[in-house]
Amino acid sequence: MKKNMMKAFLTTAVMGTVMAAGSMMAMAEEPVTVTWFASRPVDGAIDLAIRQIAQQYSEEHGGNWQFEVITEADRPSYLQKLQTLISGGNMPDIIDIDATPYCQELVDAGMLVDVKEYLNQEGLYDKFEPTALAYQEFTNGTMYTLPLEYHVEMIWYNKEIFAENGLEVPKTMDEWLDVCEKLSEAGITPISVDGADRWPVIRYLAMMPFRETGNDYIISLSEGNASMGDQAGRNGIEFFQKIGQYFQEGFAATDYATAQAMFLDGQSAMYYIGDWEIAAMQEAYKNGTIDYFYMPAVDGALTGANEFCVNSGIGMAFNAETFDEKTKDFVKYVIENYGKIYAGMDQMTPIKSELPEDHEFSDLYLRVREDMGSIGEHFLKPWDCYLDSNTCTVVNDNALLLATGDIDADTFISLVDTALEEYKSGF
């Protein structure tokens, strides 16, 4: 009944089912169904990899097993539907969720499986990249989500534009601002940014606090033990206001595809995005038109040049009520097979794995993969993983106004602090 209600609720979602064609005896039995409510692009690398593994598992384990994927790729819509399902007692077997305050509420209610405990029990913990697992943890070190991605984020730049203007790759944040200023004076848009999705803009706000404190400041802020007006916050705002003046005109309404196209068409000199866009960057990189650098450093800061934004994306969490032996066995099978299959799709994998020998990898892929082997102790974790949803909205919307100069620093600080206080009081 539970799954029927869920399917009725998600009539507009994209559904895919992997089923085994077992024996007549197996067909006569009640089939085992594992349902995943996913927030991934349909036919994206993760979706395809998991479906392929489910097909293999089904073929190897007989016909009394099926895997059902219900997808809502739009994250706000997904979260709204997920909360409705859970509040109605219809939680799927597997869900996608970040280690957010809402996820913590589910943990506190005993609804999610302790993934760290499960991995250790099965001897699977060390199969993962340590940073990929650390990203999934709550601030107290507990972990209830399994990573399926592993990414670094970088600043891509147009080598021809840099060379024509006598510019070197910046090593410090001040040098980066100097590069932006010189480009602007030359009539060149320094940075194109996807403002419509908000998160690319917030990365710039988070950079200076991360350089100075790691994630300590945003953790304190999210817990109500710091103010947006504290020194780390003000330094972040100051840098954000400076670099925001170098975003393209109308950036707040520019979408992901347009911002990227601006950069690849030579209409902007720089563009911040992660390695998940290697395929889009490949041709220009191979032609020698573009290259990348990581977040510049700050002299004397806590974090160094080999520490920047690293993430393992939204995690896969498991319903504690339905996490039986068959589900555990399937999850184990996924972990044992996912790394090589996912890497074979030109993706960076969170699971340590040899690269498939029958696939040719580009020089760009191999270079980024090598970079990921020398990441330092600290990594910038996006602010929306720490802040409650309402405060996230306040930060996201008003940061756009802050960057355009439509509100000042004190107004922004007051808005954020008020949202945090309201959440803390309600909580």
Residue 59's pLDDT is: 87
> Does 260 lie in the same domain as 120?
no
The verdict on residue 99 lying in a domain is yes
Residues of the domain holding 146? 2-150+313-354
Supply the CATH number for residue 170's domain: 3.40.190.10
Q: What is the three-class DSSP state of 157?
A: strand
| Residues 219 and 349 occupy one common structural domain | no
Q: Which of 115, 145, 149 is nearest to 316 (CA)?
A: 145
Structure-token pair, residue 69? 């994927």
Amino acid type, 226: A
Asked if 69 contacts 16 with a C-beta cutoff of 8 angstroms, the reply is yes
Question: Helices 231-244 and 389-404 sit at what angle, rounded to 10 degrees?
Answer: 50
Which helix (H) or strand (E) segment is 231 a member of?
A: helix 231-244
State phi, psi for 39 to the nearest 5 degrees. -120, 65
Nearest to 32 by CA among 326, 320, 318: 326
Helix (H, G, I), strand (E, B) or coil at 132: helix
- Within-domain flag for 362: no
Question: What pLDDT sits at residue 427?
Answer: 54
Are residues 186 and 127 both part of a single domain?
no
pLDDT value of residue 29 = 59
Q: Does residue 374 lie in a domain region?
A: no
How crowded is residue 56: how many other Cβ atoms within 10 Å of its Cβ?
A: 14
| In a shared domain, residues 32 and 181 | no
- On whether both 422 and 286 belong to a single domain, the answer is yes
In the block, tokens 């992660």 appear at 274
Any long-range contacts for 280-285 (C-beta under 8 Å, 24+ apart)?
A: 281/156, 281/364, 282/362, 282/364, 285/364
Q: State the Cα–Cα distance between residues 90 and 82, nearest whole angstrom.
A: 9
Q: Between the CA atoms of 267, 269, 275 and 278, what dihedral angle is there, to the nearest 10 degrees?
A: 50
Residue 87 lies in a domain: yes
Amino acid at 299: D
CA 405 to chain CA centroid, Å, is 28
Instruction: Answer whether residue 38 is part of any domain.
Output: yes
Contact 205, 382 (CB under 8 A): no
Residue 341 belongs to some domain of the structure:
yes
Strands 315-318 and 65-71: unpaired
373 phi, psi to nearest 5 deg: -80, -10
- The total of structural domains in the chain comes to 2
Are residue 137 and residue 251 in the same domain, yes or no?
no
* Residues 306, 405 share a domain: yes
Burial class (CB in 10 A: 0-12, 13-18, 19+), 370: exposed
Q: pLDDT digit of tens for each residue in the chain (427 aa)?
A: 444 445 444 443 444 444 433 433 344 456 788 999 999 999 999 999 999 999 999 888 876 788 999 999 888 899 999 999 999 999 999 999 999 999 999 999 999 999 999 999 999 999 999 999 999 999 999 999 999 999 999 999 999 999 999 999 999 999 999 999 999 999 999 999 999 999 999 999 999 999 999 999 999 999 999 999 999 999 999 999 999 999 999 999 999 999 999 999 999 999 999 999 999 999 999 999 999 999 999 999 999 999 999 999 999 999 999 999 989 999 999 999 999 999 999 999 999 988 999 999 999 999 999 999 899 999 999 998 899 989 999 999 999 999 999 999 999 999 999 999 999 887 5
